[in-house]
């Protein structure tokens, strides 16, 4: 998938999440296409029942200092509903 380091922001499951996840499952069970609105809500990833993860580029600054990769997350630039941050680095 990704070949670079990146940061994801997480939104925990709420009532809307649960309704959209139920709709995703109903479509899957019925063998019909999942509506685009639902796919977009989950960032085109099957819901896991806990969190919606999406890349947060606008709040991240990446730099290098003395050979160390630095990641700065500007919390003020994150959407209010992001409560989790996941740092991803591929295993080489």
Which H helix or E strand runs over 10? strand 6-12
* Residue 44 located in a structural domain: yes
* Residue 1 located in a structural domain: no
Count of structural domains, the chain:
1
Whole domain around residue 57: which residue ranges? 6-88
* Residue 37 located in a structural domain: yes
* Residue 36 located in a structural domain: yes
pTM: 0.65
* pLDDT tens column, 27-71: 999 999 999 999 998 888 899 888 888 888 788 777 777 777 778
């Amino acid at each position: 998938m990704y070949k670079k380091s990146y940061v994801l922001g997480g939104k925990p499951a709420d009532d809307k999440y649960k309704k959209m996840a139920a709709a995703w499952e109903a479509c899957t069970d019925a063998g019909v296409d999942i509506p685009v609105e639902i796919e977009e809500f989950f960032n085109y990833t099957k819901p896991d029942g806990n969190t919606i993860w999406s890349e947060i580029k606008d709040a991240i600054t990446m730099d290098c200092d003395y050979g160390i990769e630095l990641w700065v997350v500007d919390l003020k630039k994150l959407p209010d509903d992001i409560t989790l941050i996941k740092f991803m680095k591929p295993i080489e």
